[in-house]
Structure 1
Amino acid sequence: MSEQANAETDSVHTARGPEVASRVGIALGTALLICFVTGLISHGIQHPPSWFWWPANPVWLYRVTQGTHVISGVTAIPLLLVKLWAVYPRLFERPLLGSPMRALERGSIAVLVGSTIFELSTGLLNIAQYYPWKFFFPTAHYAMAYAALGALAVHLAVKLPVIREALGRPVNSNAGLADADIMATRHVSRRAILTAAGVSAAAAALAVAGQTVPFLRWAAVLAPRSGHGPQGVPVNRSAAAAGVGDRARDPGYLLTVAVGERRRQFSRDELLALPQARARLPIACVEGWSASADWSGVRLRDLLAVVESYSGGDVRFESLEGGGIYRNSVLPQRHVVDDRTLIALSVNGETLDLDHGYPCRLIAPNRPGVLQTKWLSTIEVVT
């Protein structure tokens, strides 16, 4: 058959139906599963249960997992839209409920669509740091992820025979479709829709990937933070937003360090007088952006040793901030003893900018930026 005949044959097949829905669904399900797993990792690092373990090395691991989380979530958005378009007429077929099996299918679809839209839309707004809601984003996002995964599992179990049959048919098959369905979109080919879905998903990924992958920064047109900021490092929370400007600039600033029963205070000059160390570490945020920088300051374990011999335990950091859930952070022992964990005093060869945590901040390998506490006031070993 000639290419022209193939094109004419393909043009009469409706783009809506199980052939398109199943194939787009595989890509969408893969993106959502990757997003779910990497999201669990991120939540575990920030709100660790007793069994959770996260290494200090390799230093780039969180950068990769969180970047993948955001990229996969953004990639899923156009795939979801195409998937909903492909099945749209069937979503409102009568009866809406019917038999128990049909009711289960309808219910799983409703939960799956609702929870997925919630996850992707709130996640996208979180990337932009825009919160028009009153609920706590991490908790709601985490809980709804399980709802989406459960609904997806039920939906796949119910629809698996249909999916297998659709995947076994050629893309241009009209088997099982009503004449009305065929006529509804006869001028749009399935291949065109599948191509558009793939291209749009790739474009969406490229539009944000640059905030994680340096050589793609030129294409990161939708990334709110892709390398710009004081001293070449982006800023999420400024000193003005945190309300710490006056306290951070106070000439009488002192950092309190407590190890066991011993406690000592250090001025910034005294910190600079201690042996200095350097480390090249990425700082990566939950919104997906990351940037590598050259940090210098006092190794945390060396600073603790000046006060008292460090015999183990996690270390708690407190900021000059007056409030906020992230004014405190706890650093696990495996990070405490790492050579690259610093109380940073400078970045990229310059004194820390106020927005980067002046007079000093924590920088540790393989940690979310939100836990790299800025404007330090207290460091304390906890058991």
Structure 2
Amino acid sequence: MKDTTTGGASRRFDLPLPQPPDFLRIGPLREGTFRSPLHEPRTAVVIGRWLGAAVVLCFLTGLVSHALQDPPGWLRDHLPSRPVNGYRVTQGLHVIAGIAAVPLLGAKLWTVYPKLFEWPPARSLRHLLERLAIAVLVAATLLELFTGLLNTLQWYPWPFPFRQTHFWLGWIITGALLLHVAAKAVTIAEQWWRPRTALPGRRAFLGTVGASVAAVTVTTAGQTVPWLSGADLLAPRRPDLGSQGLPVNRTAAQAGTTTVPADWRLTVDGPAPLRLSLAELLTLRQHTVRLPIACVEGWSASAEWTGVRLRDLLDLARVPSGARLRIVSLEAYGPYAVTTMEPAHARDPLTLLALSVNGRVLNADHGHPARIIAPNRPGVLQTKWVSRIEVLG
């Protein structure tokens, strides 16, 4: 008779599997190969707590970044333009936590890697499924950190799109991590609350791991944390280096915008459409604001921007206050040659069509003749070489 009870299903998962012969137990599969006393649950749980905190912080701040860059329809009209430094903080934390997770993951894997060579390899179907889930967790985390690090260098030696892959890997890691924690909940609880017992070498090992995390954090976080800029030795960017005092991700040469048409005009759609030359834009009331530009690679820098408030241009064109905008660049190719802007950003008094930065007219690499600068907005959406502002409704 077929057993349809939950207990019966559980017993079927615990049925032993056929085991390989003992003569295959060679090399690291032999008993006693791993002799360090630190390959034990308490050390693994301590490192796991630190790594788990870094992963959760990366995941949550990554969701913020994704929502600001590509918001779902239900969220699109509710994206805030404040706090001014919101994206700078969340994306800076995202990259800082991701870099800190690298030595933590290495330490965690070293602590538990003898488990990779357990004998027998799979005692039951349940044990086999648990090991497969761990394999998915480890593989996805390694790929996430590897591609994330290369993204900070703007190097993409793979055929798949980085941003979408990075986003979905985050969900896979989170799901696999929750399954792993559920499977090991009893062990984790026992070791989490267990009174600390002296183990030779544990304190030195944990201290070394902590020092490694501190070192990579201090020497890279300066690309987004101003008071650590003096120790910014390993970060791929120095926010204070670059033309006009700012780094540049995409140059005019890369975008094909080194030469601006002599008859360039900014076009603003609306019930009273505008076509304004640079000279005409300069006759309008100019405003200066101090805003950061923060990029997904983790660097950010503040600057003084001067130009025309975007909302003033929209009012001149009689654009409705709740309208969404499409901003079109002179850039012919590239994923951000056309961007959209929600009303909260479009109508914020700090959002400018900037014409100069740090007291100097924008150069070609920074978006001459005009660019967007807005608070709490990813750098890739601060469109350069603006040619047209369209109303989406």
Give the superposition deviation at 1:235.
0.7
Counterpart residue type for residue 84 of structure 2? V
Q: Which moved more, 1:111-120 or 1:198-207?
A: 198-207
2:176 is matched with which residue: 151, 155, 180?
A: 151
TM-score (norm 1): 0.90
2:215 is matched with which residue: 189, 195, 203?
A: 203
- Asked if the contact 1:226/1:290 (under 8 Å) is kept, the reply is no
- In the aligned structure 1, how far is the partner of 2:79 from the partner of 2:300? 19
Gaps of 5+ in 2: 1-34
User: Aligned ranges for residues 135-284 of structure 1 at < 5 Å?
Assistant: 135-169=160-194, 172=197, 189-227=201-239, 228-246=241-259, 248=260, 250-260=261-271, 262-284=272-294
Which residue number in structure 2 is paired with residue 314 of structure 1?
324
SS at match of 1:51: helix
Give the superposition deviation at 1:58.
1.0
Give the superposition deviation at 1:192.
1.1
Pair 1:353 & 2:363 matched: yes
- In the aligned structure 2, how far is the partner of 1:290 from the partner of 1:255? 28
- In the aligned structure 1, how far is the partner of 2:129 from the partner of 2:325? 49
- Asked if the contact 2:96/2:220 (under 8 Å) is kept, the reply is yes
SS at match of 1:153: helix
- In the aligned structure 1, how far is the partner of 2:165 from the partner of 2:38? 35
Q: Which moved more, 1:96-105 or 1:200-209?
A: 96-105
Give the superposition deviation at 1:208.
1.7
SS at match of 2:141: helix
SS at match of 2:390: strand
Which residue number in structure 2 is paired with residue 183 of structure 1?
none
Give the superposition deviation at 1:257.
1.0
Q: Percent identity?
A: 51
Q: How many residues align?
A: 356
Structure 1 residue ranges (4+ consecutive) displaced by more than 6 angstroms after TM superposition:
none
Q: In structure 2, do the counterparts of structure 1 residues 309 and 140 end up closer, same or farther at CA, with 3 Å as the change threshold?
A: closer
Gaps of 5+ in 1: 1-11, 175-187
Q: In structure 2, do the counterparts of structure 1 residues 124 and 13 end up closer, same or farther at CA, with 3 Å as the change threshold?
A: closer
Which residue number in structure 1 is paired with residue 347 of structure 2?
337
- Asked if the contact 2:327/2:389 (under 8 Å) is kept, the reply is yes
- In the aligned structure 1, how far is the partner of 2:282 from the partner of 2:320? 21
Counterpart residue type for residue 240 of structure 1? A
Counterpart residue type for residue 151 of structure 1? A
Alignment RMSD, CA only? 1.5
Q: Deviation digits for residues 299-340 of structure 1, max 9, x if unmatched?
A: 011112222354421111010011111111111101111111
- In the aligned structure 2, how far is the partner of 1:135 from the partner of 1:279? 38
- In the aligned structure 1, how far is the partner of 2:230 from the partner of 2:81? 30
Q: Which has the higher contact order (CA 8 A, sep 6+)?
A: 1
- Asked if the contact 1:301/1:310 (under 8 Å) is kept, the reply is no
Which residue number in structure 1 is paired with residue 102 of structure 2?
77
TM-score (norm 2): 0.87
- In the aligned structure 1, how far is the partner of 2:91 from the partner of 2:193? 35
Counterpart residue type for residue 270 of structure 2? V
- Asked if the contact 1:364/1:372 (under 8 Å) is kept, the reply is yes
